[in-house]
Structure 1
């Protein structure tokens, strides 16, 4: 579809030529952006597998692990906006280089931790560096693609999250199975080294493979650069007269209800990401490679939950009940996992975690159909950023809470019951306070959550 203001530039300019230009742009910038984000997600979540032997080797408690796993999101929270502001000043290639080199180095250094404070500092730095990656890459896409051409590109980019979980789990299991004791280095240390080095390499490659803006793209012809510039200029003209009111989002009660709702859902999601391998291992004796494939299977069902729930939401033009029911399924899965742990049923834990993953991961994308019902324009943009940044602090709270409860109670069941209750609060909030049904179903793009 051609933007209404994107009139032909010359008598020989055609819709096909402009479409061909933007296909070339997408093929040039989106694959690398997606690869960078896949690696980032793998590095973010690999502590879940490293934990399986780190705690014994270093004589740490689950509370130490939970605090360190979660502190990532404090760094993420404080540095997300500053990183994006820096990107606007120095450009995307240098910013992505800084981010990838920083989080890659922090990941490699994780292999040499010996004290809890080492763990806390490096996890905070990982979060601080990675904080600008997601919003930065989204901003980078706006430099190249007008809104009416950006949805598919963002959809491809957003697929990095489930792809990383599908690939990262068996990869981590394989690394830990094959490397323990090699050169006198423990399996968890090899995991951080092997998975951190590609990030450093991507940081170096970013300077050579990324082009800041179309004006600097030598791989586009002058006519192609003109096509891109014209459509972007037309979009800027459309937006220039709109009012910018961040305060409108802050004053909207529904925004804060949505913040709390998403916080409750992400509490369940963070539990799956950081404690999934430990929950399976608690009742099932398998090697790391097998455990990796089990976790991959669980996240396959989570990915299917995203696809099916989003499709149903679109088909029925309704988001409120689809979000609530999916979150309810996520909470139910955690309750079933707690019961299975008490019964010592490994298969039961796997099935329960799969149910929870399908529900929780299925709820998050459809949730993002709710904010546009109450906000628009710049208030919507500000509201979405506010909801996303604050709600992601659940990624800090959930693992720290579960680790502390596990140490105090001697098992995970009590903590899972509480977290399930927190996720179920999301259901109550949606049904009690979000009254207006969605008219569009799942959105074309949505922020990535922990």
Structure 2
């Protein structure tokens, strides 16, 4: 694409037409987003398939709900410890090498889960999975800031994160089918096949990403010189980054209390979200569904609806250049949907409808949150800031499955756990509304204080 327009001496250069700019970003998106979506789908499956595997593991290995809850959560301890170093390394060595390291290692560990026999082995491998997967998600969020200005980033983050919801759609039927139909094949249990079949593709995709992706626009041979300059110009003149340039150094960013408030919001949000992710199969089973394949199919329906909901909400947020109220509305929708599920126990159709409503809000909230985060952080502090907020937030996901598992085990019902999850969602929305205000006049999103 040639963006050069002849002009008279002394006049300003003509700006590229909006249609040409849109076409350029469409070209970029079709090149990098599909592979990132596939990688995240595999990452998400490897992270959550324990929710389905435990339906068989607890019977064969005699794992209690408490053991399972702790093992599900300990993943995030390893994730927390290594996330910031991984993102700082990505900024230095690039996304390609980082994804190669992360995905090859986590794929091997995910597959090794098939050999678990004791709670200790379960804990160790879940911890190592978190160690090796650390940096993948915040690394991709950082990677998107290398290509997209803030005005286009909300929808792209939503599309990327739709991978998790799409993975939720296929996770149910895929996990249920593997455990049901491969159980006993070659002397392996269904849950063992589950870890093997879903783990090894991550290692293959890591190698593919290394050879297919480019670290930054200037490295892309499939872009013309003019296209590279236009992309870089849009990033350099991004009003969000210009307005947030108060973080003149990494140290200033680390001393910014508002960064830790954002981490608290993510702590609450992720704690609630992963509680739902891990316990949805058990929740559906409590509605009277016993067949593993049917549990998987029923779990897919809310996720499918959530895919469309999160993309539409992300697009609406970009169109109106507004994040905070979209986030608050999303978590309120999540809490309302979960509240309805507690009132519809015993009615499968009504419970699934309520859960679908909740999943729309759950799916939309996280990309909105990270759009706010990338708009607040400066370019200097983005790598460490995104990783720091993400890693601290992941402690919520480490704690919540164990807490809700203990509540469910003590009460014999998942309903009381749902009350806690609803409170976490609502609190995250209230804190973000209080801590972050819109500053359209300044062209930025700033924290109050």
- TM-score, normalised with respect to structure 1: 0.80
CA distance in 2, matches of 1:422, 1:19: 38
Instruction: Report which stretch shifted further, 190-199 or 315-324.
Output: 315-324
Instruction: Report which stretch shifted further, 420-429 or 20-29.
Output: 20-29
CA pair 156-419 structure 1, distance change in 2 beyond 3 A: closer
Structure 2: gaps of 5 or more residues = 7-14
CA distance in 2, matches of 1:235, 1:324: 29
State whether structure 2 residue 338 is matched by structure 1 residue 334: yes
Instruction: Report which stretch shifted further, 230-239 or 301-310.
Output: 230-239
Query: What number of residue pairs does the alignment pair up?
Result: 430
CA pair 407-203 structure 1, distance change in 2 beyond 3 A: same
Instruction: Report which stretch shifted further, 177-186 or 406-415.
Output: 406-415
Matched with 2:117 is 114
CA distance in 1, matches of 2:71, 2:28: 40
CA-CA distance at 1:43 after TM superposition? 1.4
Retained in 2: the 8 A contact 1:246–1:378? no
Query: Can you list the C-alpha shifts for 1:218-256, whole angstroms capped at 9, x where unaligned?
Result: x54xxx453355446656876999562445555555544
Retained in 2: the 8 A contact 1:215–1:225? no
Q: Alignment partner for residue 80 of structure 1, among 78, 83, 86?
A: 83
Q: Alignment partner for residue 162 of structure 1, among 162, 165, 186?
A: 165
SS of equivalent residue, structure 2 residue 40: helix
CA pair 143-47 structure 1, distance change in 2 beyond 3 A: same
Q: Alignment partner for residue 398 of structure 1, among 397, 400, 410?
A: 400
Retained in 2: the 8 A contact 1:73–1:393? yes
Retained in 2: the 8 A contact 1:268–1:331? no
Retained in 1: the 8 A contact 2:162–2:307? no
Retained in 1: the 8 A contact 2:154–2:317? no
Retained in 2: the 8 A contact 1:144–1:228? no
State whether structure 2 residue 291 is matched by structure 1 residue 292: no
- Superposed CA RMSD: 4.0
Matched with 1:32 is 35
Retained in 2: the 8 A contact 1:336–1:349? yes
- TM-score, normalised with respect to structure 2: 0.80
Retained in 1: the 8 A contact 2:73–2:401? yes
Instruction: Report which stretch shifted further, 186-195 or 296-305.
Output: 296-305
Q: Alignment partner for residue 63 of structure 1, among 66, 85, 102?
A: 66
Matched with 1:271 is 275
Q: Which structure 2 residues correspond to residues 400-415 of structure 1 after superposition, within 5 A?
A: 400-415=402-417
Retained in 2: the 8 A contact 1:272–1:357? no
Query: Can you list the C-alpha shifts for 1:46-82, whole angstroms capped at 9, x where unaligned?
Result: 1111111111110011111111111122222221222
Matched with 1:259 is 263
Matched with 2:423 is 421
CA distance in 2, matches of 1:142, 1:268: 27
SS of equivalent residue, structure 1 residue 159: helix
CA distance in 2, matches of 1:122, 1:395: 17
SS of equivalent residue, structure 2 residue 413: coil
CA-CA distance at 1:288 after TM superposition? 2.0
